[in-house]
């Protein structure tokens, strides 16, 4: 672990450097507070443990503490302020400035090592807390089984995309995708196989759609996609995915399961009246299009575009499209 030693006294820096090297640290040296601040700002992985002298030129240890604590981070360094002042008011000033600990000169090696041990334990607890918080944040907006964004997260991102669509007067495709006859997969092969089918379906979804498209699990065997796109492109994009699902069976050991997907798409134009751009209404339109796809024989894409004059359902080469 890197440890920063900031002290304008060459002899004291050398002594502390040798002690830390003997304890397995990788010391980083600064002769004044300004140099120490540059190290913390410019290093890709700055030191996690800091030993700062109180009295330094350019920026003293107390002000350096304050500057470091003004940085908004979930992974702050552990700071030990080192000084010849031992009076209680100085200890209070150091702790109020953001120091984690305080040690007086001349520094006793045993006491310093013990205090550094406290710092290491604190940093380890902080690391574990950050990992736990990251996992909680991930699970809050991701589906545990598929790893895709969950319904709430996609709806939140959809709000942002709607604002962009209105601002730029562009078009957006909101699609609900449903695996056909998925219940029979669970009933025939069991839920563990069904779960693996869902996971593979999600992987194909992520691989087929573009990096800037939003894909997620809507619930059960239903998935959702939000794509900046125009009406013609939307059918091509979704029908390509439909074709991939149809032509690529789920394979595991000796098991091969043919799958298909029905897709309902709502095309939103940024110029549409605001009343037509409400999220619940858009999702209801996509769901209604999915219902029509299911009742048109499944394994097809049904597109709803309020800016297009309805026309009868017609066959495509690899599926059926219905626009209205």
Dump pLDDT digits (tens) for 15-29: 999 999 999 999 999
- CATH, range 2-140: 3.40.50.2300
Length of the chain: 324
CA dist 260 and 248 (Å) reads 9
Per the annotation, the verdict on 21 as an active-site residue is no
Write out the DSSP string of 54-108.
SS-SSS-HHHHHHHHHTS--SSPPEEEEEES--SHHHHHHHHHHT-SEEEESSPP
pLDDT at 253: 86
* Closest listed residue to residue 94, CA positions, set 80, 74, 76, 106: 80
CA dist 229 and 77 (Å) reads 46
Within the chain, which residue ranges are assigned CATH 3.30.70.270? 151-323
Within the chain, which residue ranges are assigned CATH 3.40.50.2300? 2-140
Q: What mean pLDDT is predicted for residues 31-44?
A: 94
pLDDT at 277 exceeding the cut of 80: no
* Closest listed residue to residue 84, CA positions, set 14, 31, 9: 9
pLDDT at 241 exceeding the cut of 90: yes
CA torsion sign for 164, 167, 171, 173 is positive
Number of H helices, E strands in the chain: 10, 14
pLDDT at 324 exceeding the cut of 70: no
Domain 151-323: CATH superfamily, name plus number: Reverse transcriptase/Diguanylate cyclase domain (3.30.70.270)
pLDDT at 166 exceeding the cut of 90: no
pLDDT at 322: 47
CA dist 22 and 115 (Å) reads 16
Catalytic member of 55, 200, 221, 272: 221
CA dist 183 and 198 (Å) reads 12
pTM for this predicted structure: 0.72
pLDDT at 231: 54
Q: How many CB atoms lie within 10 A of CB 61?
A: 26
pLDDT at 276: 60
pLDDT at 90: 87
| DSSP single-letter state for residue 277 | G
pLDDT at 210: 92
**b/e burial code for range 4-24 (CB count within 10 A of at least 16 → b):** bbbbbeeebbebbbebbeeee
Q: What mean pLDDT is predicted for residues 132-154?
A: 94
């Amino acid at each position: 672990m890197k440890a920063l030693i900031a002290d304008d006294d060459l002899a004291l820096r050398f002594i502390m450097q040798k002690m830390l090297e003997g304890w397995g640290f990788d010391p980083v040296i600064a002769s004044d507070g300004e140099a120490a601040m540059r190290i913390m700002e410019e290093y890709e992985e700055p030191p996690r443990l800091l030993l700062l002298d109180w009295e330094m030129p350019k920026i003293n240890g107390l002000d350096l503490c304050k500057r470091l604590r003004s940085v908004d981070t979930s992974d702050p360094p552990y700071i030990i302020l080192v000084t010849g002042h031992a009076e209680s008011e100085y200890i209070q000033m150091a702790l109020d400035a953001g120091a984690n600990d305080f040690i007086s000169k001349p520094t006793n090696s045993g006491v310093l090592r013990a205090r550094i041990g406290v710092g290491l334990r604190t940093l380890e607890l902080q690391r574990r807390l950050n990992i736990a918080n990251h996992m909680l944040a991930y699970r809050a907006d991701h589906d545990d089984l598929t790893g895709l964004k969950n319904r709430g997260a996609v709806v939140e991102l959809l709000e942002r995309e709607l604002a962009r669509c209105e601002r730029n007067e562009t078009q957006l495709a909101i699609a609900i995708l449903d695996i056909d006859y998925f219940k029979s997969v669970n009933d025939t092969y069991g839920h563990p196989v069904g779960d693996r089918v869902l996971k593979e379906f999600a992987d194909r979804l992520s691989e087929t759609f573009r990096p800037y498209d939003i894909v997620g699990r809507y619930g059960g065997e239903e998935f959702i996609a939000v794509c900046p796109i125009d009406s013609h492109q939307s059918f091509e994009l979704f029908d390509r995915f439909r074709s991939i699902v149809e032509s690529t069976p789920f394979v595991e050991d000796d098991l091969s399961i043919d799958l298909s997907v029905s897709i309902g798409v709502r095309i939103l134009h940024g110029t549409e009246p605001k009343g037509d751009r409400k999220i619940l209404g858009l999702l209801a339109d996509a769901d209604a299009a999915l219902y029509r796809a299911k009742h048109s024989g499944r394994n097809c894409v049904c597109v709803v575009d309020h800016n297009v004059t309805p026309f009868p359902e017609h066959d495509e080469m690899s599926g059926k499209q219905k626009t209205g």
